[in-house]
Amino acid sequence: MILMNLKDKIHIFERKNHMKSLFFSMAAAFLMFFTLAIQAQPLNNPQKDLVLVISSEEGNNGIAVTYNEDKDLYYAAFGGNEFYPLEVFTSSGKNVYSEKIGFDARGLSYDKKTNCLYGNAYDDGGYFKIFLNDAGLPTGQMENIFTGMHQPTEQSGGFFDMKKKLVYFRNDATIYTYKFKTGTSVKQFDLTGISSREIENCVEYVVIYTGKKGYEFILVNYLSPKIYFFNKKGEYVSNVHIDYSDYMHDFFNLSYANDRLWIYSKDNRKWTGFKIF
């Protein structure tokens, strides 16, 4: 009888521990899911909170803004030829660097692991790399990783996801994924859920990848203006309006970095950042 009671007590003790462990695991999973859900939600009323004023008089089309979180710096690039500027700004908008970019760029992304900028060039110019120093500023050293047509169209601007070693592009309503190491196309899918007329009114030649779970891709209507959010499968999720009074161009001059949508004004030569997450 004593033995049975001991066995029963051990069984009850183990069961209680199992239930406690299960409860804490479920609570942790719920908390993680809840936290991610909160982080992923776009703001209903995006506000302008930072302006980057270009100091150079060269260049016409702004092709990208990218962010270095370690040094709290923004990099803004122009497309058109290799002599157009790459400019660097602090988080307060102070311009601390302006020199020729070295490539006829169409896309630009910062990679934390290598402390370098990666981008794609016009047409068959391929992918390139710009080296940065310990302060986060370009050293003047750059590398053409490889040449060739490794993008959907000659004007396509790419986003380099160096964690996954992938490059994203967009043409009309189609997202294209290329391998960074080889430049080969591995996947493509359509953005769905909005009308063809709405897609026609969206800024072209740029891909906006947020990395936010459930809101990975963005299209921007330059006539409204309005932001359309899509998940990683290309399914439409939601939209928000932005209060942008300057003229918005129908191609290029649009980017995403540090939870912000960036819009470039050719007339005022400035990038305006709207915090959308």
> In terms of pLDDT, which residue wins out, 110 or 16?
110
pLDDT of residue 5: 59
pLDDT of residue 50: 97
Find the mean pLDDT for residues 46-60: 96
Residue pLDDT, tens place only, 141-156: 999 999 999 999 999 9
Find the mean pLDDT for residues 17-28: 53
Cα 274 from Cα 92, distance rounded (Å): 14
pLDDT of residue 17: 58
Cα 144 from Cα 103, distance rounded (Å): 9
Tokens matching residue 87: 């400019």
pLDDT of residue 197: 96
CA terminus-to-terminus distance, the chain:
64
pLDDT of residue 242: 96
Confidence of residue 36 (pLDDT cuts 50, 70, 90): very low
pTM (2 d.p.): 0.86
Spell out the domain ranges in the chain.
Answer: 1-40, 45-275
Q: Do residues 150 and 120 make contact, with C-beta atoms less than 8 angstroms apart? A: yes
CATH class of 45-275: mainly beta
pLDDT of residue 22: 53
Distances (CA, A) of 13 to 8, 27, 87, 111: 8, 21, 65, 51
Residue 179 has pLDDT above 90, yes or no: yes
Q: Which amino acid is at 163?
A: K
Residue pLDDT, tens place only, 222-257: 999 999 999 999 999 999 999 998 999 999 999 999
For residue 132, give the nearest of 166, 164, 93, 97 by alpha carbon.
97
